[in-house]
Amino acid sequence: MEAGDKERAADILFGRSAAPPPKPEPDMAAAFANGALSIATFDWAHEEPRLPSKPLLGGSAADVEYGSTLGLFALGSVGDALALSGATVQAFRSVQTRSFFTVQGEGDASRLLAGGTPWPSGMSRANLGEGLYTWGARGQAEAYKAALEARGATGLRIMEGRMSAVEYRRLRTLDLRRLDDAAVEEWMATHSQYGEGLPHPFQHVIRETGNFGSEHYFSADVFSSFKF
């Protein structure tokens, strides 16, 4: 749908004159975050649109491809309809969830499903602190699982944990990938079990492993934000 067609369609839909007075853009992120509206969500892991709403005036799934503009859709529980010409899928990041993948044996899988405690400790299972150690992509978890199985591990499973993007953005995060090698080594020597093991204030630490990609550590105090 061309820009002019979208404007004319919106005029018809809302009964507006040809030259309505300008109105402020609606705060779409807030509307979706508080659950007042729903239009579409996007599966970022598989790059697929999800359209629970009924398209209006020529809108289609093709309009919801990554980064493309949206057409007109019937919205949510309030039954309203809004013209979203020019909005992009980026505007709906507030309703997406972030997925992380952890490789666990049967006992630890049951422990996580029951709330996580008691948390393992020590260098091999809590190098950055007590909490959840994950991978950002299922393929990375699969590669890690295969490596463990090659060393004799059995009964492993991959668990997907989801956290809302809103909660994810609120975490106190340290991304070690953004630091130079010297700074990473200094931080690890101070705070990991390889070194002094001193406490740190971060709820989420990302570090590059070299073999499987980026590991995401989440401290035990934010584990309740995950849904499995």
Q: What is the pLDDT of residues 94-139, one digit of tens each?
A: 458 999 999 999 999 999 999 999 999 998 899 999 999 999 999 9
pLDDT higher at 11 or 60: 11
Check: pTM over 0.75? Answer yes or no. Answer: no
Note the pLDDT of residue 202: 98
Rg of the chain taking only CA atoms, in angstroms:
23
> What pLDDT score does 1 carry?
52
What gap in Å lies between CA 212 and CA 27, rounded to an integer? 39
CB 90 within 8 A of CB 68: no
Integer Cα distance of 182 and 67 in angstroms = 37
Lowest mean pLDDT among 56-60, 124-128, 215-219: 56-60
**78-87, 137-146, 181-190: lowest mean pLDDT where?**
78-87
16-53 pLDDT, tens digit each: 444 445 555 545 445 444 444 444 443 334 434 444 44
